[in-house]
Structure 1
């Protein structure tokens, strides 16, 4: 079954590659520059950029921003999720406001955060954390609500303190849900990252895309797009593997 899934996945990627090639050929009929968007040009440029080292500083800068944004989202989202899951009144009070805020695109806050924090990494950290925190809050709250009541009764019968109940019973019980929320948050953050890195920074994959556009280096632009997809796929795979590993154990 696993081999079949792998084969089907490879077939899907090959179909996507074929559609990419066909699309670039069609565009090239009216737009000669479209030849630079073709798979061969993009993948060749990606290889050159990686081997030449021009992309690594941008990759590391983007991954650092993602890591900091997710860390802030976890620091805020997990305690808030516990508060919502443990108290029905807290959930009823906070849910309308949270649903309202959750539906606002993080990118719409760009002018506000630039005014507050200036340009640089600080507004990017805010926007990424804002984008990621909702998935973590909702999954954590759902996990808390679904904790087996017998586990809690066992803890009380053993005279466990509140901190012991939280750290030794509740947190391990909801860690799988937190990891699932983190996986969703990674997907959201990685999508939001590129436009966020167009806020006046001088490194990162979003900045690199702007730079290639200004230089009319379209093969490098497509190479960066492919790389963004590959890194996002790798991050999602790692988060999914971590969640599955925890559920098995």
Structure 2
């Protein structure tokens, strides 16, 4: 994938993408494809040549640049201790739903995430981007501790903290307007400590409830993100 294409430019595709194109999709010479660069660039191309190690695609037009639409939601979740593919599922669904970024939160009860795991999650993101045809890749940020996170909360006009026994989310939203960016915060399996919750609330995070049942980290993250995506999309549609 390139950063910008002009008519006649040739792009060589190798590796997993080449295998997917030729073995799974069974594309051949002269078939049309779309290339994207993960930052909103899109161009139509035609397969010009296929050999044993790759295929060559010629761009048929100038790159179209598509800008992100709606509120850019940034997810901060303490999922470093999740096992059994649950972190993969969280990242995959955040990508599909349209989160702008996900940042692993390091808390007193979820204080680490392995570097090899981050590499795996990057692959999960790329696969999900292709599957749901996102033109803008979701960013997986390096892990962040609570003290470094608090200034982000303070600067955000929309910061929601998933919290048990808090005011239900849909009772909070009617009093708010949409902004360009928003922050979602979800704690670890043992929840945030009282000190962590107090610090985030003092920084401006709004505690919101997600129902009467205790939810797993990944369930709470996707529930909150789904609700806020639908809410912000509806708000934007009303103003257009």
Same fold judged by TM-score > 0.5?
Answer: no
More helix by share: 1
By relative contact order (CA 8 Å, sep 6+), the higher-ranking structure is 1
For normalisation by structure 1, the TM-score amounts to 0.21
More strand by share: 2
Larger Rg: 1
